[in-house]
Chain A
């Protein structure tokens, strides 16, 4: 009973956050996007700012946009948002807030196939997100692709959230855009379908292997405000937490690992109540 209650609370959080940050209904109806003052700020999750419902800016989109400007400049504003969200939440954003994480969670609930937590060669593939971060977000945006013309390489070639939340609703409502579809769109649509179908079997493949935002927040996980605390003394090493953990982390790794999305399933699974969600407001280094 309690286990399902915790899961329901997280699902409720994810749904409410998605609705609040994508609540511009007029945009979905007309194929236009929100242009109000809230777009001066970034939202914590991967949320395409070209989504007709989006009321905030995507931190990765903002980062690439700043890198794409004339000349090189440090993208202070986007980095500022990433530091603030990362220091407070860490990858709690991935587990409890991100709309694309919610989509993958929902597909993983479909009772098809034998579920797997990770891909084979997980220990190698998990570094894919860092490759995407440095190869597409930083280097790609700055100059790598198409000679020295700067483009938002991650958004353009990879981001499935942009396809799902931006391109598809816009194409549905805006007839003019449909005439501009090129091969690139079919590549991105194929990638989105592949990732969504893969998430039926594997838990959150995009978050575990490709998401550059998760890679950034992962660096903050160890010391972020929101933590899962492990009481080592009371632990009987029954590994119930590891079995419950959707990304297969042991109790020593939970919360401090860059892979932990702080979903809290380990907290519910622990029979000795050695794990608990808490904030480290008063915790010193």
Chain B
């Protein structure tokens, strides 16, 4: 069996939901690294009048 076939077999044994979770975690880590979690927090702790349709 060639190297690439072995790698391909390994990847095919991973359920897709797990691959999705891994991608999600990687995105999340990238977001944390880029300071997006702080931005999200700053937005979430203010009453956003625009968001709730008042202002």
Residues of A within 8 A of B (CB): 32-35, 39-40, 42, 48-50, 56-57, 61-62, 65-66, 69, 73, 75-88, 151-152, 155-157, 159, 162-163, 166-167, 170-171, 177, 180-182, 184-185, 187-188, 220, 223-225, 280-285
Within 8 A of A (CB), among B21-36: 21, 23-32, 34, 36
Q: Is the CB of B31 within 8 A of A48?
A: no
Q: For the complex, would chain B's binding face be called helix, strand, loop or mixed by DSSP majority?
A: helix
Residues of B within 8 A of A (CB): 12-21, 23-32, 34, 36-37, 39-41, 43-55
Q: What's the minimum C-beta distance from B48 to chain A, rounded to whole angstroms?
A: 5
Instruction: Give Cα A34–Cα B13 distance, bound, in whole angstroms.
Output: 43
Q: Is the CB of B53 within 8 A of A80?
A: no
Q: Is the CB of A66 within 8 A of B39?
A: yes
B residues less than 8 Å from A188 (CB atoms): 53
A residues less than 8 Å from B39 (CB atoms): 65-66, 69
Our pick among A77, A81, A84, A170 for the contact of B47 (Cβ within 8 Å) is A170
Q: Is the CB of B24 within 8 A of A83?
A: yes
Given A75-B36, A281-B15: A49 in contact with B25 (beta carbons within 8 A):
no
A residues less than 8 Å from B55 (CB atoms): 180, 182, 184
Instruction: Give Cα A48–Cα B50 distance, bound, in whole angstroms.
Output: 12
Given A156-B53, A177-B49, A187-B53: A280 in contact with B43 (beta carbons within 8 A):
no
Closest to A73 in B: B34
Q: Is the CB of A79 within 8 A of B27?
A: yes
Q: Is the CB of A75 within 8 A of B31?
A: yes
Q: What's the minimum C-beta distance from A49 to chain B, rounded to whole angstroms?
A: 4
Instruction: Give Cα A170–Cα B53 distance, bound, in whole angstroms.
Output: 12
